[in-house]
A and B are shown apart, each in its own frame.
Chain A
Amino acid sequence: MITIRGLSKEYPGGIQALNSVDIQIERGEFVVVIGPSGAGKSTLLRCINGLVPPSGGTVSIDGLPVHRAGDLRSVRKKIGMIFQQFNLVNRLSVLKNVLCGRLAHGNALTSCLHLFHSMDLDLAMSCLHRVGIPDKAHERADQLSGGQQQRVGIARALVQQPDVILADEPVASLDPLSARHIMDVLRDINTEDGITMLVSLHNLDLARQYAKRIIGLKNGMVRLDTEISELSDSDIENVYGRAFVDSAEPAEKRYCNA
Chain B
Amino acid sequence: MRNAWAPNLVIVGRPVRNFWTTALQLTTAALVLTVYVWSAKGTNLSLGELHSGMAGMLDLVSRMLPPDFSEVSRLIDPMVETIQISIWGTTLAVLFSIPFGFLAARNITPHPLIYRASRLFLNATRAVSATIFALIFVAAVGLGPFPGVLALAVHSTGMLGKFLADAVENIDPGPIEALKATGANQLQVIVFAVVPQIMPEFISLSLFRWEMNFRSSTILGIVGAGGIGFELITCMRLFRYQELTVILLIIFGVVTALDGLSATIRKRFL
Contacts and interface: CB of A to CB of B under 8 A. Distances in A.
Nearest to A77: B183
A73 B183 contact: yes
A79 B180 CA distance: 11
Interface string B143-185: 0000000000000000000000000000000110111111111
Nearest to B191: A112
Given A91-B197, A91-B199, A112 B178 contact: no
A112 B188 CA distance: 6
Interface string A71-85: 001111101110101
Contacts of B179: 100, 103
A89 B182 contact: no
A184 B180 CA distance: 26
A255 B193 CA distance: 43
B239 interface: no
What does DSSP make chain B's interface, helix, strand, loop or mixed? helix
A154 interface: no
Contacts of B182: 76-77, 80-81, 100-101, 103-104, 156, 160
A79 B181 contact: yes
Interface in A81-131: 81, 83, 85-92, 96, 100-101, 103-104, 108, 111-112, 114
Contacts of A51: 177, 180-181
A89 B197 contact: yes
A103 B189 CA distance: 9
B11 interface: no
A112 B187 contact: yes
Contacts of A103: 179, 182-185, 188, 192
A49 interface: yes
B196 interface: yes
Contacts of A111: 188, 191
18 contacts: A49-B181, A73-B184, A74-B183, A76-B183, A77-B183, A80-B182, A83-B177, A87-B174, A87-B178, A88-B178, A92-B196, A100-B179, A103-B179, A103-B192, A104-B183, A108-B185, A108-B187, A156-B182
Interface of A: 49, 51, 73-77, 79-81, 83, 85-92, 96, 100-101, 103-104, 108, 111-112, 114, 153, 156, 160
Given A88-B175, A108-B188, 11 more contacts: A76-B182, A81-B181, A89-B175, A89-B193, A90-B197, A91-B196, A92-B196, A103-B182, A103-B183, A114-B191, A153-B178
